[in-house]
Amino acid sequence: MNDPNPLYADACENCMTRDVLPQSALRDGAEAIVAGYRCPNCRHTWTCSWGVVPGRALPPEPIDQSLFDRYATAQLHEQAAVNRARKHLSRKDPS
């Protein structure tokens, strides 16, 4: 298998550091995750939504907030909620 990004790495838009690995991620339904990142160089935090790729290891869920910046965790939950809302709006039959 030739997966170009097996760990859901993303680039920091603030300082352009590449291949920053997610600190944690939330499931967003069956086929997506919202991953939270903190840049090791500039400490910029951000989130990114990914389609779950079969065979990839999922980042850990944010269980203990002491392991993860509280602000970034809040961003993560907010983005997951936005994604859920979007999905509901685009769905024709409620489920």
Using CB under 5 A, list all residues that contact Zn ion. 12, 14-15, 17, 39, 41-42, 44
> How near is the Cβ of 29 to Zn ion at its closest, in Å?
29
**Closer residue to Zn ion, CB minimum distance, 12 or 76:** 12
> How near is the Cβ of 93 to Zn ion at its closest, in Å?
42
- Considering only CA atoms, which of 13, 21, 12 is closest in space to residue 56? 21
> How near is the Cβ of 76 to Zn ion at its closest, in Å?
18
**Closer residue to Zn ion, CB minimum distance, 13 or 31:** 13
CA distance 64 to 85: 26
**Closer residue to Zn ion, CB minimum distance, 22 or 28:** 22
Residues 46 and 8: beta-carbon distance below 8 Å: no
